[in-house]
Structure 1
């Protein structure tokens, strides 16, 4: 799930350096200042060459090909104002491993030097199909003194197999990835565990029950089933439109009906769905309700749903009623969970309550919430039509992840709130 795509609308201050046609093209890599600040430059398909995506530790992001950029590139050095940032010479080791009969590909990224206590993290990605190898996020973690293993999910990039959203199968792959990374970094790492973003929040905790893991960190994930995710998205939509409790109850009934269809492989639930359709027939807002899938299902005729509903909505082996809380109860490793306060893709109400319940019960859970952020920990502006446009990753998020994985999270992280459980 989690398919949201944001438009990019970056605005920078007048102190930023203008790009010019004469400026040398930047070289992909990670560049660091003496105080530990860094910027990652990496190619991405959405930016025409020779432009690169840039990502600073504080979350500023954009393209080096834009009219104004906060950096310049000269002779392999990145300059920020008058400061010269040196490229970090990472050690990168390509690898392949087998999981559940499928060959997978990955890369271990290690900071310079040898440190037997350096943390090692396997990055468990969300529902995207693009390869994380060579992307900005792995290097952003490695720039903070952490060894990072990134790998292509099955059916994506260089990995074999069929793309799937089966959390149990993906967790088996992630567990095997951690075992592989440990072997590659033998003698050069200490505590080792997982980071999961978005859908990875379902996968990483389960993976940590399949192999030894010293920690699990999750960003903007859900402690709820995909069916609950769909319901919460629709409730969030009607609340944003100011439609009241009757509308909330109506979309809750819609989610129950579509959930029954999905759980029965589109055999049962049509009478329940027709009843909700009749309730919604005279509601002008009903045509705009989306959820994760319920809006689309409600607008398809029953004969079409019987014929192609499963192929359209249930072709990725998703576990619709996945018990995410049960998976977390089995987890003994320390857990970090970072919430986006205004997450439209993964609404946080149920997730926050579940996490705080686990924390109150004595589980080693750290929960941070960044206000005014959407899925991906993105800050945004909102247009007159209600559409959001990304400005940046919120300041403090990347540093929080790095510090927590290193066992040194303390103090303030941007505008983050460190949530405490009520006893």
Structure 2
């Protein structure tokens, strides 16, 4: 997926004809409320897309949606949707005006609808998209009350004849008001523009990323490269931090892991490959003239909090490092503690924890030593027995064996996160939460302070009441609970700390030659 946006040198052409489809009432003289959302808010499904930049639309951000490339099918097999902001009362009218153009004339049926399971549609209109930018308007009345986040503007594109490019959207409470829309778009100044980029990595892997560039700031800009945690993670894990850094003029890069989303390569939790990918992301950003290669920070959560110090330890030109729930340790002792913490988090009997961890470490050591199948069989059997003795079922125990008996886990003896932190002389911020069941703050924060003791620009912070995912409202800290607590890394306390700290660490006056 290449960045293919074009930037026109012409004036913004805001006075375009409106392709307006109002369902009933005539427009009033003035609407009650107008809110403009950037093109980056569009959620594309079912097909490939590219975030681009075009100076001919307000805010300059656009999303180009590619056709599926197949004949037949259904219009809703791919397309784009955007949440209508706020709640709607029964009988309340809402209007949406959005910028759109198409590679060739294309008829589409747009709508506004509620969420699952009924997807009750309360506005629908057919419009013809054209190569020239136009504003399309749709208006409707909610048949019943909709809670915030449960209704959306929908643009099905499964039958589109070519690329369709979407721009910003203005939502109005009440019927559409042309003057209000024109004024809102004219005043629209997003803090940043999202552009898709590609990052070459090794061996032969291309990572797909999104660069969030603050607007209205003199360049070249500082940048924070955001590194995700363990799992099949793509972009989107740092939404509140991205917004805060944009407000301070700091660009951010987030990218899909190899083999995930639109990145190529094979997905494997290979810490060395993932570290190489993060280093490749840094190198790609330094090649951009709009970014300041001397002011590159790394921000990593969980596994990313281990990768970030590793990249910085090998690259003294990194300006700052932030680790969020990043484990601190070296080799098998680090792995032993992590396994012990997981047993405690699973509420296993205290007397069963050490024997089970011993069995797991024996199996891992066997893999490291490349022992043959005959030697490994009893080690696997012992681990299953110990897991069962600790209260897991046979099925759960065998699943636990499958998770531990992997090359990925065996390679953990190469991790050197404590040593990497000790090697850093740049500003480092390490953050933990007291409710984290995976990276236990009472153990990890002291280890971080010890590793960073010789660095006068290091800071370790422990937040009371926050879990591994740093969301307000946590009581148990479990992953099940986190799903209902809002955005990942969304705690205002965390966002404020990271934002203030990076603003100061990446300020031009704070730059010093690498030690």
Instruction: Please say whether Structure 1 and Structure 2 have the same fold, judged by a TM-score greater than 0.5.
Output: yes
* 1:112-127 aligned within 5 A: 112-116=215-219, 118-127=221-230
State the distance in 1 between where 2:194 and 2:360 align: 46
Q: Deviations over 1:2-50 (max 9, x none)?
A: xxxxxxxxxxxxxxxxxxxxx99987539xxxxxxxxx956387xx973
State the distance in 2 between where 1:336 and 1:161 align: 32
Deviation at 1:370, TM superposition (A): 1.6
Match of 2:43 in 1: 43
State the distance in 1 between where 2:444 and 2:82 align: 38
> Residues 338 and 439 of structure 2 are in contact (CA less than 8 Å); yes or no, is this contact kept in structure 1?
yes
Deviation at 1:247, TM superposition (A): 3.4
Deviation at 1:71, TM superposition (A): 12
* 1:63-102 aligned within 5 A: 67-69=146-148, 76=170, 88=190, 90-102=192-204
Q: How many correspondences in the alignment?
A: 346
Change (3 A) 1:192 1:68: same
> Residues 122 and 148 of structure 1 are in contact (CA less than 8 Å); yes or no, is this contact kept in structure 2?
yes
Q: Deviations over 1:132-170 (max 9, x none)?
A: 169735742324421112223222222222122222222
Deviation at 1:215, TM superposition (A): 0.6
Greater C-alpha Rg = 2
The answer to whether residue 306 in structure 2 is matched with residue 209 in structure 1 is: no
> Residues 121 and 147 of structure 1 are in contact (CA less than 8 Å); yes or no, is this contact kept in structure 2?
yes
What SS does the aligned partner of 1:108 have? Answer: strand
The one of 344, 354, 362 aligned to 1:257: 362
Moved more, 211-220 or 117-126: 117-126
State the distance in 2 between where 1:270 and 1:72 align: 55
> Residues 364 and 405 of structure 2 are in contact (CA less than 8 Å); yes or no, is this contact kept in structure 1?
no
Match of 2:110 in 1: none
The one of 393, 404, 408 aligned to 2:501: 404
> Residues 214 and 334 of structure 1 are in contact (CA less than 8 Å); yes or no, is this contact kept in structure 2?
yes
The one of 221, 227, 249 aligned to 2:326: 221
Deviation at 1:375, TM superposition (A): 1.7
Deviation at 1:101, TM superposition (A): 3.3
Match of 1:105 in 2: 208
Match of 1:60 in 2: none
State the distance in 1 between where 2:307 and 2:479 align: 32
> Residues 219 and 338 of structure 1 are in contact (CA less than 8 Å); yes or no, is this contact kept in structure 2?
yes
Q: Which runs of 5+ in 2 are unaligned?
A: 1-31, 46-78, 86-113, 117-145, 153-167, 174-183, 507-515
Deviation at 1:249, TM superposition (A): 2.9
The one of 231, 235, 248 aligned to 2:340: 231
What SS does the aligned partner of 1:164 have? Answer: coil
State the distance in 2 between where 1:386 and 1:166 align: 23
Q: Which runs of 5+ in 1 are unaligned?
A: 1-22, 31-39, 55-63, 299-308, 410-423
Match of 1:345 in 2: 438
* 1:109-148 aligned within 5 A: 109-116=212-219, 118-132=221-235, 136=239, 139-140=242-243, 141-148=245-252
Higher RCO (CA 8 Å, separation ≥ 6 residues): 1
* 1:10-409 aligned within 5 A: 29=38, 41=41, 43=43, 50-52=81-83, 67-69=146-148, 76=170, 88=190, 90-102=192-204, 103-116=206-219, 118-132=221-235, 136=239, 139-140=242-243, 141-186=245-290, 191-211=295-315, 212-224=317-329, 225-238=334-347, 243-244=349-350, 246-264=351-369, 267=372, 268=375, 271=378, 274=381, 285-287=391-393, 296-297=399-400, 313-314=405-406, 316=408, 319-321=411-413, 322-362=415-455, 364-380=457-473, 388-389=481-482, 390-392=484-486, 393-407=490-504
Change (3 A) 1:336 1:382: closer
Q: Deviations over 1:218-250 (max 9, x none)?
A: 112211444532222113333xx6x44x23433
Change (3 A) 1:226 1:49: farther
State the distance in 1 between where 2:226 and 2:277 align: 12
> Residues 340 and 357 of structure 2 are in contact (CA less than 8 Å); yes or no, is this contact kept in structure 1?
yes
State the distance in 2 between where 1:270 and 1:350 align: 34
